[in-house]
Amino acid sequence: MSQILIPRIVVRPILPPPLEIGARVKPQYLHWQVGRYRKRLVFGPGGRGAADIWVPEREGEQHNLILNQFYDSLIPQHGFVGSSQWAAVGTGSTAPNVNDTQLANEIGTSAAPRRTNTVPSGDSNAIEPLATHGVYDIRRVLEFTEAQVGGLNLTEWGFGPTSARNGPIMTRELFRDASNNPVVLTLATDQRLRLVYRYRITLSPVTAQPITVNIGGAGPGDRTAQFVLTGMFSTRDSSFNAYFGVDYFGIVLNSLDGTFRQRRGDLIVADALARGTTFQGAGMVVVSSSALPLNYIHTTEFATGAVKSLNFAAASGRSRQASVLFNTNEAVMTIRSVAISANIRTTNPHSPTANLVFDNGQEFSKDNQHRLSVANWQITWGP
């Protein structure tokens, strides 16, 4: 007897992927200068005077190599910005390798390291936004004094998160000339060395993307939403600069240009998520009954009584997850949006920067009988 086979068709709903923030970090270039400060006459409203002027006597520009150590262990500890606070130089000549963890022969001793985080007068470290949304160059301008490097023959350089000699570094390279050949920098006893280093961070998504949100408690189950990283930092005027006059890993935030209040928020939030910690209010979760903006540049701020810190899981490879739990008496409202704020402070109003907005019909009401968990916020990084 023949058997009739009836095909089985299984229909499953196709949901968007879960929320994920992406961060790509790539090297840009190093500009090195060997030189001296010289006295020059200057003229101004007060009359004539003398000033120290930096005079480069030898310089070059070169590309470089970012190490695996940066992605695997430094970002989870020190973040994208904090991993480059100190410059190191040495006399080793081995070719750079992505698996290097320190300079081949760093100058100084364990008791007297010679790393520097000194920014020359009149210059500054900076978070530089590019024209493309979500793209930033981290710029470091650091200088070694005559006492640190005068009279030495230097062959290698790197940047790291700490002042310790042979401490971890995020990048290592040999000094090179315009033809990419290794060179030795021979410094006179009265010469200094200045390093100007840039590396680039590209964040995503900076346009609204459909996602699935796993919710536990009131309104359980998967719900669909839109998610975007915005540049929002703050709309506060100049009187608010007292809140921004903080050292953000060697970068003073109130020294940023006049457009900073609508840029850099996405980088600060991503940095907090990667490190697994908040920073003076940046990285706090806020909720709203309104649909928050889904455009990259916006000026919306709002106050809410539902403000919580994220609970961070341990980093896993090159990613980290976080979740937030609202108790029964918190966030009692119809919830349309959940956001992470980039405000460098801890009071209202908050600047919604990483914005999750539930689709029409997907918003829900939380009562005072349930707790609410919004889980699996994830950031992933790499080259």
| Higher-scoring residue by pLDDT: 223, 79 | 79
Per-residue pLDDT, averaged over 346-364, amounts to 88
Q: What is the 3-state secondary structure (H, E, C) of the chain?
A: CCCCCCCCCCCCCCCCCECCEEEEEEEEEEEEEEEEEEEEEEEECCEEEEEEEEEEEEEEEECCCECHHHHHHHHHHHHHHHCCCEEEEECCCCCCCCCCCCCCCECECCCCECCECCCCCCCCCEEEECCCCCEEEEEEEEEECHHHHCCCEECEEEEECCCCCCCCCCEEEECECCCCCECCEECCCCCEEEEEEEEEEEEECCCCEEEEEEEEECCCEEEEEEEEECCCCCCCCHHHHHHHCCECCCCEHHHCCCCHHHCCHHHHHHHHHHHCCCECCECEEEEECCCCCCCCCCCCCECCCCEEECEECCCCCCEEEEEEEECCCCCCCEECEEEEECCCCCCCCECEEEEEEECCCCCEECCCCCCEEEEEEEEEEEC
- Residue 223 included in any domain: yes
- Residue 354 included in any domain: yes
Do residues 104 and 148 both lie within one domain? yes
116-139 per-position pLDDT tens digit: 999 999 899 999 999 999 999 999
Q: pLDDT category, 348, cuts 50, 70, 90?
A: confident
Q: Is the pLDDT of residue 307 over 70?
A: yes
Q: Which of 202, 221, 244 is the last residue of a domain?
A: 202
Do residues 272 and 335 both lie within one domain? yes
- Cα dihedral sign, 300-305-306-308: positive
- Residue 211 included in any domain: yes
Which residues in 261-292 are b (16+ Cβ under 10 Å) and which e? bbbbbbbbbbbbbbbbebbbbbbbbbbbeeeb
What six digits make up the tokens of 229?
């990283």
Burial of residue 22, with CB atoms counted within 10 A of its CB: 0-12 exposed, 13-18 middle, 19 or more buried: middle
166-216 per-position pLDDT tens digit: 999 999 999 999 999 999 999 999 999 999 999 999 999 999 999 988 777
Domain of 171 in residue numbering reads as: 24-39+60-202
- Residue 291 included in any domain: yes
- Residue 97 included in any domain: yes
Per-residue pLDDT, averaged over 229-251, amounts to 74
Per-residue pLDDT, averaged over 92-101, amounts to 97
pLDDT at residue 220, as a whole number: 61
- Dihedral of the CA atoms 240, 134, 125, 270 (nearest 10)? 80
Q: Could you give the CA distance from residue 233 to residue 329 in angstroms, rounded to a whole number?
A: 29
Do residues 160 and 128 both lie within one domain? yes
Least confident of 54-58, 79-83, 230-234, 293-297: 230-234
Provide the number of structural domains found in the chain: 2
Q: Is the pLDDT of residue 59 over 90?
A: yes
Do residues 181 and 228 both lie within one domain? no
Do residues 182 and 141 both lie within one domain? yes
Per-residue pLDDT, averaged over 76-99, amounts to 97
Q: pLDDT category, 239, cuts 50, 70, 90?
A: very low
- Residue 289 included in any domain: yes
Do residues 181 and 210 both lie within one domain? no
Do residues 175 and 95 both lie within one domain? yes
pLDDT at residue 237, as a whole number: 53
- Residue 296 included in any domain: yes
**Do residues 82 and 248 make contact, with C-beta atoms less than 8 angstroms apart?**
no
Per-residue pLDDT, averaged over 82-89, amounts to 98
Q: Is the pLDDT of residue 265 over 50?
A: yes
Q: Could you give the CA distance from residue 260 to residue 283 in angstroms, rounded to a whole number?
A: 18
Do residues 81 and 97 both lie within one domain? yes
pLDDT at residue 343, as a whole number: 81
Q: Is the pLDDT of residue 369 over 70?
A: yes
Beta bridge partners of 224: 212
Per-residue pLDDT, averaged over 110-121, amounts to 96
Burial of residue 371, with CB atoms counted within 10 A of its CB: 0-12 exposed, 13-18 middle, 19 or more buried: middle
- Residue 7 included in any domain: no
pLDDT at residue 46, as a whole number: 60
Per-residue pLDDT, averaged over 13-17, amounts to 66
Q: How far from the centroid of its chain's Cα atoms is residue 353's Cα?
A: 14
Q: Which of 173, 202, 231 is the last residue of a domain?
A: 202
Q: pLDDT category, 350, cuts 50, 70, 90?
A: confident
Do residues 266 and 302 both lie within one domain? yes
Residues 6+ apart with CB under 8 A from 220: none
Do residues 219 and 350 both lie within one domain? yes
Residues 6+ apart with CB under 8 A from 14: none
Could you identify the residue written with the tokens 């023959």?
153
pLDDT at residue 263, as a whole number: 86
Q: Which of 202, 223, 252 is the last residue of a domain?
A: 202
Query: What's the CA angle centered on 303, arms 302 and 309, to 5 degrees?
Result: 105
Do residues 162 and 261 both lie within one domain? no
Which residues in 217-234 are b (16+ Cβ under 10 Å) and which e? bbbeeebebbbbbbbbbb
**Do residues 265 and 206 make contact, with C-beta atoms less than 8 angstroms apart?**
no
pLDDT at residue 17, as a whole number: 80
Do residues 68 and 195 both lie within one domain? yes
